[in-house]
Amino acid sequence: MLTGPLYNTNNSFIVADRRLKNIFQVDVTTGTTSQLLPVGTASKPIALAYDSTNMLLYWTDADTHTINKYSLLAHRSTVIYRRRAG
């Protein structure tokens, strides 16, 4: 299941694919699709947000119950919130 899309200022849009367990960027002029996250970073990504100023991608993960951010500049993922059990 795809969620999104978010429109990016680079003539592209960003979508989350829960089945493929990743977030993708699609170029609107060429149709080229590229994977944004390293494999294994997301389990069931949903609810995208993109900070184009700082090139940060945010998403919630329905499987791990987390809110995450990924720096497209540093290529680093961080869990910024984790729901506590109970």
- Read off the pLDDT of residues 3-18 as tens digits, 9 standing for 90 and up: 556 666 578 888 899 8
Distance CA 76, CA 81 (A): 16
Q: Which two tokens stand for residue 62?
A: 């329905």
Report if pTM > 0.85.
Answer: no
Distance CA 67, CA 62 (A): 9
- Asked if residues 57 and 23 have their Cβ atoms less than 8 Å apart, the reply is yes
Q: Domain limits of the chain?
A: 2-82
Could you read off the pLDDT of 27-65 as tens digits, one per residue?
989 989 999 999 999 999 998 998 888 989 999 999 999
Fold of the domain built from segment(s) 2-82: Thrombin, subunit H (2.40.10)
Distance CA 48, CA 2 (A): 11
| Mean pLDDT of all residues belonging to the chain | 88
Distance CA 76, CA 57 (A): 10
